[in-house]
Chains A and B, each alone.
Chain A
Amino acid sequence: MVMKSSVEDDDVGWGLGVPEKMRNNANWVDITHEFKGACKELNLGELLHDKFRFGLFEAMSAIEMMDPKMDAGMIGNQVNRKVLNFEQAVKDGAIRVRDLSLPELIGIMDTCFCCLITWLEGHSLAQTVFTCLYVHNPDLIEDPALKAFTLGILKVCDIAREKVNKAAVFEEEDFQAMTYGFKMANNVTDLRVTGMLKDVEDELQRKVKSTRSRQGEQRDPEVELEHQQCLALFSRIKFTRLLLTALIAFTKKETSSVSEAQKLMQQAADLLPALRSSIEHGIQSQNDTTKGDHPIMMGFEPLVNQRLLPPTFPRYAKIIKREEMINYFSKLIDRIKTVCEVINTTNLHGILDFFCEFSEQSPCVLSRSLLQTTFLIDNKKVFGTLPMQDMIKDALRYFVSPPVLSSKCCLYNNHQAKDYIDSFVAHCSRPFCSLIQIHGHNRARQRDKLGHILEEFATLQDEAEKVDAALHSLLMKLEPQRQHLACLGTWILYHNLRIMIQYLLSGFELELYSMHEYYYIYWYLSEFLYAWLMSTLSRADSSQLAEERLLEEQQKGRSSKKTKKKKKGQGARPLSREITMSQAYQNMCAGMYKTMIALDMDGKVRKPQFELDSEQVRYEHRFAPFNSVVTPPPVHYVQFKEMSDLKKYSPPPQSADLYMAASKHFQQAKLILENVPSPDPEVNRILKVAKPNIVVMKLLAGGHKKETKVLPEFDFSTHKYFPVVKII
């Protein structure tokens, strides 16, 4: 490409006007003919360009006009209808603000609901809710039902947006927070809007009553239709009011309002069947919307905001269909009801588990945000009442019973000890709040962030060890029969291991690993991380037992009636379920690890074959986030190869031996899980994988289909971390 720089002495004039000047009072001179003629004098590929303001970057980044992929303003001219905004449409008569029929109202509201849901699913307001002309200026609407409804929708959007922004657990793929300067009914209070909705509701309820069928009377089909339609409209208005009121409840600081929200959501759920059965009464769109095209109907103009969109290439929002709207609302309500349950858990570990479990169903951004803002109201206290530091101390007591936090220990009131522990707990606050926030992100982003937070936890680990040592030496002097060995360290280590395990397991869920990587992932989990976890949990358990025994001893001196003979294993130890589940997981991972090694021995694992391939590079990349962790120390590739080398056994095991070993691991997992009291869905999911795998491994050990060239399949549909191995 040959570039000719611009003529210097003409620079002064060329294109240097301020854009504001280029308005209707400027004197424009047509130079089309001269310009085009001059252009013809250029050679092919030769450019005439501004000396300073034009380079390769500009050449590359200019958007091309009249190309539908890049020119968002073009589409307005391609459709054969006039694109009018709200005021223009009213003037034109294309849209009515009064005397709307019941079917029109129902149809408009249903389409609005669909737009609302599409927005909540991550599209821009400009291409969803604000394609409804009515919401641009509800003050112009005279029909009371539609006016109340549009104000209600605007308030719902406003509160939802506020919550999502505050919770900050979204990324650009989750949610578009831009409001484009649209007015969100700020001139009306929330209370006024719910009041307006209630008034309309009451009016409609009167109509419904007056048109209902009476015993012994002949049913007039027209009256029946009116009755159905009134009922349909009534249900929609009430649904909107309940949804709005529930969201308003979430904005309040008291936890009692969370229970109120839950009740309101249940009432809204009760209305869904009525909504579903009356969709047909609403006016339908004039175009075919089966492929997701925006409905064209009165009150909606999909291109009304086209000019507000950024000049990047235009993205079109596929509005969901009315039939799907009910299903979506149903699931959304379920999620919100689940979110309300969190206030019933008051210990930190329970809350963490709640967040993890909730996240596993990949919930929507709104429910995730509501959960975050319910947990940490204004980011200060848990549920608005409990300081984070107290929760951390409680978690420590529950998990590892450190003497320093026991009121029966002399350290409890020791100034220096208190300083140490208080400072440590203060430092724990932020990482744990971050951890809970991480669990509010979508599954993909979560994995990434979990990897990063290991650095903070490594620092905490360091501090924990130092504080433990200091407290231990203090305790030795004051109460020699007690120990403060690695209490805090054990607790931080437990969380470290949890994060590392979650990080690795989520790779299966997100389908990040290739088959030939499974073996070292499962190895790291079973032989290393779960092994550490088991020993950490049993150490915590012993620490608890030691404290309990000490308390018993102290109580013995007082009243002999109080002391009961504590039998071994009386009642479930607080950590027993977790220990059991970890054992089961460890066995599943061990089974998978040995399965993969055996399959590899039999040539059933496809490996990359390119010249510069290096398994070490892949391995180091997969475990890179662990390098910042001190305890447990990361296992580097060479070390891993040594530790997993089968040749250290004589005779070295054959594939058949490994299949049998894998089968035994799955069998062990099955036994452990079948003995779990009150099994939850997770236990059953793992059993559904363990059982077939036991059989498959035994078959493979017997040489089943050894000669086949067809590779085995791994079915993660039952459990996202452990596949059912299928031999074709």
Chain B
Amino acid sequence: MRIRMTDGRTLVGLFLCTDRDCNVILGSAQEFLKSSDSFSQGEPRVLGLAMIPGHHVVSIEVESDMYLV
């Protein structure tokens, strides 16, 4: 799962938990700065378990071959 935050950073990790307010917990999370499509920012920062508060979530994406109809 890939989540873009309000400050422009992107977190990529394993979706583990969410609640009504859309607070999301990702496992093995990696932090990419600004754009994660280009690799101009170099290595991602490994965070481990990270919680993104719902009000800081801009967008949520999953990989298409895992998209469940």
Chain A residue numbers with a CB within 8 Å of B50 are 62-65, 311
Closest to A67 in B: B53
* Chain A, 302-334, CB within 8 A of any chain B CB: 307-308, 311
Cβ-defined contact, B16 with A28, below 8 A: no
User: Given A22, A59, A74, which contacts B63 in the complex, CB threshold below 8 Å?
Assistant: A22
With A61-B49, A62-B49, A66-B5 as known contacts, state yes or no: A10 contacts B18, CB within 8 Å: no
Which residues, 34 to 52 on A, are CB-close (under 8 Å) to B? 35-36, 39-40, 42-50
B60/A62 in contact, CB under 8 A: no
Q: Is the CB of A58 within 8 A of B49?
A: yes
The answer to whether residues A73 and B9 also contact, given A19-B28, A29-B67, A63-B51 and a CB cut-off of 8 A, is yes
A407 at the interface (CB under 8 A from B): no
A221 contacts the other chain (CB 8 A): no
Chain B interface bracket (under 10, 10 to 19, 20 to 34, 35 or more)? 35 or more
> Does B19 lie within 8 Å of A48, measured CB to CB?
yes
As a 0/1 sequence over residues 31 to 46 of chain B, the CB contacts with chain A under 8 angstroms (1 = contact) are: 1010011110001011
Q: Which residues of A contact B13 (CB under 8 A)?
A: 15, 19
Q: How far is the CA of A49 from the CA of B18 in the complex (A)?
A: 6
Task: Give Cα A26 to B37, complex, Å.
Answer: 10
Shortest distance between the CB of A37 and any CB in chain B (Å)? 10
Q: Are A54 and B25 in contact (CB under 8 A)?
A: yes
Would you give the shortest CB distance from B63 to chain A, in whole angstroms? 5
**In contact, B16 and A49 (Cβ under 8 angstroms):** yes
A13, A21, A28: the one contacting B61 at CB < 8 Å is A28
Interface size on A, residues (CB 8 A): 47
Q: Is there contact, CB below 8 Å, between A39 and B16?
A: no
The distance from the CB of A4 to the nearest CB of chain B, in whole angstroms, is 10
**Partner of B17 from A19, A27, A59 at Cβ < 8 Å:** A59
- B4 → chain A closest CB, angstroms: 9
Q: Is the CB of B16 within 8 A of A24?
A: no
Contact B45–A73 (Cβ < 8 Å): yes
- Tell me the chain B residues, 13-30 only, with Cβ under 8 Å from chain A: 13-22, 25, 27-28, 30
In angstroms, how far is the closest chain B Cβ from the Cβ of A35? 5
* Minimal beta-carbon separation of B69 from chain A (angstroms): 10
Residues on B with beta carbons closer than 8 Å to the beta carbon of A572: none
**B residues bordering A, Cβ < 8 Å?**
1-2, 5-9, 11-22, 25, 27-28, 30-31, 33, 36-39, 43, 45-54, 56-68
Query: With contacts A15-B13, A29-B63, A29-B64 known, what are 12 further pairs, Cβ within 8 A?
Result: A14-B15, A19-B28, A24-B37, A28-B2, A28-B62, A42-B20, A46-B20, A49-B16, A53-B27, A59-B17, A64-B53, A73-B9
